[in-house]
C-alpha cells in the first residue's frame, strides 16, 4: 500500500470512531432524558379510562347503606322528574300529534288507527288494560307492537292516561 492510502485509512477510522462515540453519547443521553422527563397524558384519554373502570353499581350494607341507597333513589327520581316530556302537558291532542300519531295515524307496526274505529275491540278489555299496555309496552297476537310509553320514557303516567282518553274520545 502506498503512504497516502494508509493516511486515508487512518483518518477514515478516526472519523468512524468519532461518529460511533457521538452516536453512543446520543443514545445514553436520550435514555437518561426518557427516564427523567414525565410523559404527557392526554386528558381525554384519562377521562375515557376513568369512565371505563368506574364501578357500574354500588353495594349498600347496613343502616348507612340504606341511607345512601335512599339518597341515590331520590336523586334518580329528581333527575327523571326534571326530564318530563312535552313540558309536562296533559293535553292528549298535543302528545298524540307529537308522538302517537306517527303510528296510530297510518297503522305503522299494526297499530290501531283512530279513523278505522279499531279501538273498539281493545276497549272491550277495559281502559286499565289499555293504560297498562301503553305504559309497559305490548306485543299483540297479530304481531302488532306497542313500545313502552310509546317509545318516549320521559312520558308520565298522567300524560299517557290523558292521551289515551283523548284518543278514545275521537
Residue range 34-89, pLDDT digits in tens: 888 887 888 898 999 999 998 887 776 777 677 777 888 888 777 766 677 777 77
Around Cβ 9, how many Cβ atoms within 10 Å? 11
Q: 17: domain range?
A: 1-36
161 inside domain: yes
pLDDT at 11: 94
Task: Indicate whether 29 and 101 sit together in one domain.
Answer: no
**pLDDT value at 109 more than 90:** no
Total domain count, the chain: 2
11 inside domain: yes
- Average pLDDT of the chain is 84
66 inside domain: no
73 inside domain: no
Task: Indicate whether 164 and 90 sit together in one domain.
Answer: yes
DSSP 68-90: HHHHHHHHHHHHHHTT-GGGG--
Choose among 155, 65, 164, 67: nearest CA to 123.
164
pLDDT at 10: 93
- Sign of the dihedral through C-alpha 84, 86, 91, 97: negative
- Cα dihedral 168, 102, 153, 125, rounded to 10, equals 30
Give 144: exposed, middle or buried? Use CB within 10 Å, 0-12, 13-18, 19+: middle
126 inside domain: yes
Task: Indicate whether 18 and 90 sit together in one domain.
Answer: no
Task: Indicate whether 162 and 91 sit together in one domain.
Answer: yes
Task: Indicate whether 91 and 165 sit together in one domain.
Answer: yes
65 inside domain: no
Listed in order, strand segments (DSSP E) in the chain are 138-139, 145-146
8 inside domain: yes
DSSP 139: E
Residue range 15-41, pLDDT digits in tens: 999 999 999 999 999 999 988 888 788
Residue range 89-100, pLDDT digits in tens: 788 888 888 888
Task: Indicate whether 103 and 163 sit together in one domain.
Answer: yes
Which CATH number belongs to the domain containing residue 145 in this structure? 1.10.760.10
Dist CA 128 CA 168 (whole Å): 13
The model's pTM is 0.51
Choose among 103, 94, 91, 97: nearest CA to 140.
103
Amino acid at each position: 500500500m502506498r503512504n497516502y492510502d494508509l493516511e486515508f485509512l487512518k483518518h477514515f477510522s478516526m472519523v468512524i470512531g468519532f461518529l460511533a462515540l457521538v452516536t453512543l453519547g446520543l443514545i445514553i443521553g436520550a435514555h437518561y432524558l426518557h427516564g427523567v422527563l414525565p410523559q404527557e397524558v392526554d386528558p381525554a384519554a384519562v377521562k375515557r379510562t376513568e369512565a371505563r373502570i368506574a364501578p357500574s353499581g354500588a353495594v349498600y350494607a347496613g343502616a348507612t347503606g340504606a341511607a345512601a341507597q335512599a339518597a341515590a333513589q331520590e336523586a334518580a327520581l329528581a333527575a327523571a322528574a326534571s326530564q318530563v316530556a312535552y313540558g309536562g302537558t296533559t293535553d292528549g291532542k298535543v302528545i298524540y300529534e307529537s308522538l302517537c300519531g306517527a303510528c296510530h295515524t297510518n297503522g305503522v307496526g299494526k297499530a290501531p288507527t283512530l279513523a278505522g274505529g279499531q279501538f273498539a275491540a281493545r276497549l272491550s278489555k277495559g281502559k286499565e288494560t289499555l293504560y297498562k299496555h301503553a305504559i309497559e309496552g305490548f306485543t299483540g297476537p297479530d304481531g302488532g307492537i306497542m313500545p313502552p310509553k310509546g317509545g318516549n320514557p320521559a312520558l308520565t303516567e298522567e300524560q299517557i292516561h290523558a292521551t289515551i282518553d283523548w284518543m278514545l274520545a275521537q
